[in-house]
Chains A and B, each alone.
Chain A
Amino acid sequence: MLTAQIRKERRSAGAPSFVLDVSLEVSPGITILFGPSGAGKSTLLDCIAGLAHPDTGRMVAGGEVLFDSAAGIDLPAQKRRIAYVFQTLALFPHLTAEENVAYGLSALNESRRRKRVGEILSAFHVQDLRKKKPGEISGGEKQRIALARSLVTEPRVLLLDEPLTGLDAKLKSAIVDDLRAWNAANRIPILYVTHSREEVDALGERVIAIDNGHVVSAGTPMDVLDAPRRKRLAQAAGFENLLEGTVLDLRETDGVMRVRLENTACEIEVPLGFAAAGDRVRVAIRAGDILLATEQPRGLSARNIIEGRIASLEPRGTMVIARVDCGVPFSVHVTPGAVRALELAAGRRVWLVMKTHSCHLVE
């Protein structure tokens, strides 16, 4: 179990000061720390590991107090037994894989060290690489060795700072499986930092969302990411459309409100939120949640139907991004098959269809 309540202020000349002020509890298992760049995730990890020092607060891991500003306790990084895998992995380039992994085991005698190293290399399927130097090892396997190096020391907590960036999905999931397997046998809290939506979905146990130095929400991936409260989070979580608008009126009994989109006559219906008529709000809609029609649709349950014109069609792998101008720009995802069947082209008049509950209010 890891608990941390810390506050750290970073002042730099010319830039407004950044304050990290968080309180969190991480139980054994994988917990994701999700947030946009600059949210403070790496700083938080550095504080937990002892590489950075909070101004005030308290951190406890595995029953031992790591940091307590009131009591004047600040355990140096060397003594915390907290494993930390950096984004760059920081494998020692002049040592072999085996020597890298053995680095944290200097307290053990030769034979025990060799045994432990051998076991963990096998657990992560990299025994054949033991005599190779990091320069001779490809990505994917480097990550495994970095993980092995950290975990062989039997740490209390494992911190991972975007460790799988740059790897393809198949490799990622293989490594994650090995990590999970290890975690099943060694129940420690693992804090996994990422700004990638896909990784959250893939790992998805618990998510703590952090933005601008504060914890914004915590819970299951669904809770946290499907209803993002903040714009930056929304963008990070894959809401391609972020629209500004003004609240026209509230309909409490229906549980909705009507919003007029800025600079247009378009009105849409969104779920009821904490706002009053006349307030300015921001609405987030996923491009994949919007339907395209080439004729004005009738008899649909969807409450939001907006007319517009296709500005451009951009193929992107297995889908096409249609940019539609309705007075305000929208991004819509359609399949190539749909483009062909409907004979979509730039300049074509279309109607966009959105369900009320596909529209989310964000700050």
Chain B
Amino acid sequence: MDALWLSMKLAACVATILLLLGMPVAYWLAYSNWRGKFLLESVVALPLVLPPTVLGFYALVAMGPRGPLGKLWIALFGHGLAFTFAGLILASVLYSFPFAVQPLIASFESVDRKLLDASAVLGAGSLRTFWRVILPLSLPGVVTAIVLSFAHTLGEFGVVLMVGGNLAGVTRTVSIDIFDRVQSLEYGEANRMALLLLMISFAVLSVVYAVNRRVWTPWAAKS
């Protein structure tokens, strides 16, 4: 079904982008010792507590022709960012950011620092140390980050509602579609889609807990 496929596509794109963006941020937060680090940590965790509609609203304004992002996009592509799949990706990346970054931080921090010292002493630079030591030993965290960003985006509603414009095949994700059905009193159809979404989300989450032997909570920020 169109909407479900769209949601999956969105979730996959967002999870990938978040992994690429999240790793450098998580690396920096895990290993640096800057005094103001707590500020960045709070900013990263913000989407956890902000209502999605608030985030969506500000995203809408930023994407508009008067907002910084909107101006840039129009200059580059000739049309606005709202009501596009790209716009959804952007808003979702912001919204699911902590779901990717926090498990990565936890995983990176759990790597024995002495291993990093050993790697340095054996002549490896930071990049090589990351690739050959940190990453392989953080695999559970990476998997968790991917799966959680995927699942979180799959279920997203508020942000998509604010900036999507409900265009079939472009921005009408499955959560919007279900809501529409309810609004139109088509309860049977709504039920069907909701059930399908529930089963997929459950399957996805089961993967996380099967892969990770330790239970990890997304709210355990670094102390």
The answer to whether A and B assemble together is: yes
Query: Which A residues contact B (CB, under 8 angstroms)?
Result: 49-51, 76-84, 86, 88, 90-94, 103-104, 106-107, 149-150, 153
Q: Judge whether A90 and B115 touch: CB under 8 Å.
A: yes
A173 CA to B86 CA, complexed, in Å: 67
Query: Which A residues are CB-close (under 8 A) to B115?
Result: 90, 92
Kindly provide the distance from the CB of B195 to the nearest chain A CB, expressed in whole angstroms: 41
A44 CA to B115 CA, complexed, in Å: 19
Query: Would you list which residues of chain B between 78 and 107 have a CB under 8 Å from chain A?
Result: none
Query: Which B residues are CB-close (under 8 A) to A78?
Result: 120-121, 123-125
Query: Which A residues are CB-close (under 8 A) to B122?
Result: 103-104, 149-150, 153
Query: Which A residues are CB-close (under 8 A) to B124?
Result: 78, 103-104, 106
A82 CA to B123 CA, complexed, in Å: 9
A-B contacts, 29 of them at CB < 8 A, read A50-B120, A50-B121, A51-B117, A51-B120, A51-B121, A77-B120, A78-B124, A78-B125, A79-B123, A82-B121, A84-B117, A84-B118, A86-B114, A86-B118, A88-B112, A88-B114, A90-B114, A91-B118, A92-B115, A92-B118, A92-B119, A93-B137, A94-B137, A103-B124, A104-B123, A104-B124, A107-B123, A150-B122, A153-B122
Q: When A and B form their complex, which 10 residue pairs have the shortest distance between CB atoms, in order from nearest?
A: A104-B122, A90-B118, A90-B114, A77-B120, A84-B121, A94-B136, A78-B123, A104-B123, A90-B115, A103-B122
Q: Judge whether A103 and B137 touch: CB under 8 Å.
A: no
Kindly provide the distance from the CB of A87 to the nearest chain B CB, expressed in whole angstroms: 9
Query: Which A residues are CB-close (under 8 A) to B119?
Result: 92, 103
Contacts A94-B137, A106-B128; is A86 near B117 (CB within 8 Å)? yes
> Can you add 13 more A-B contacts, CB < 8 Å, to A50-B120, A78-B123, A104-B123?
A50-B121, A51-B121, A77-B120, A77-B121, A81-B123, A86-B117, A88-B112, A90-B118, A94-B137, A103-B119, A103-B132, A106-B123, A150-B122
A332 CA to B137 CA, complexed, in Å: 52
A93 CA to B136 CA, complexed, in Å: 10
Query: Would you list which residues of chain B between 171 and 202 have a CB under 8 Å from chain A?
Result: none
Kindly provide the distance from the CB of B47 to the nearest chain A CB, expressed in whole angstroms: 33
- The residue in chain B whose Cβ has the minimal distance to the Cβ of A159 is B121
Query: Which A residues are CB-close (under 8 A) to B132?
Result: 103
- The residue in chain A whose Cβ has the minimal distance to the Cβ of B128 is A106
Query: Which A residues are CB-close (under 8 A) to B114?
Result: 86, 88, 90
Kindly provide the distance from the CB of B142 to the nearest chain A CB, expressed in whole angstroms: 14
Q: Judge whether A90 and B123 touch: CB under 8 Å.
A: no
B4 within 8 A of A: no
A107 CA to B128 CA, complexed, in Å: 12
B133 within 8 A of A: yes
A106 CA to B137 CA, complexed, in Å: 20
Kindly provide the distance from the CB of B88 to the nearest chain A CB, expressed in whole angstroms: 38
Query: Which B residues are CB-close (under 8 A) to A91?
Result: 118
Kindly provide the distance from the CB of A45 to the nearest chain B CB, expressed in whole angstroms: 11
A93 CA to B117 CA, complexed, in Å: 14
CB contact between B117 and one of A80, A90, A94, A106 (< 8 Å): that residue: A90
Query: Which B residues are CB-close (under 8 A) to A51?
Result: 117, 120-121
- The residue in chain A whose Cβ has the minimal distance to the Cβ of B139 is A94
- The residue in chain B whose Cβ has the minimal distance to the Cβ of A104 is B122
Most buried by B among A78, A81, A86, A88: A78
- The residue in chain A whose Cβ has the minimal distance to the Cβ of B113 is A90
A79 CA to B120 CA, complexed, in Å: 9
A83 CA to B121 CA, complexed, in Å: 7
Query: Which B residues are CB-close (under 8 A) to A86?
Result: 114, 117-118
Kindly provide the distance from the CB of B121 to the nearest chain A CB, expressed in whole angstroms: 5
Kindly provide the distance from the CB of A195 to the nearest chain B CB, expressed in whole angstroms: 19
- The residue in chain B whose Cβ has the minimal distance to the Cβ of A81 is B123
Contacts A90-B115, A106-B128; is A49 near B137 (CB within 8 Å)? no
Kindly provide the distance from the CB of A282 to the nearest chain B CB, expressed in whole angstroms: 38
Kindly provide the distance from the CB of A106 to the nearest chain B CB, expressed in whole angstroms: 7
A94 CA to B128 CA, complexed, in Å: 15
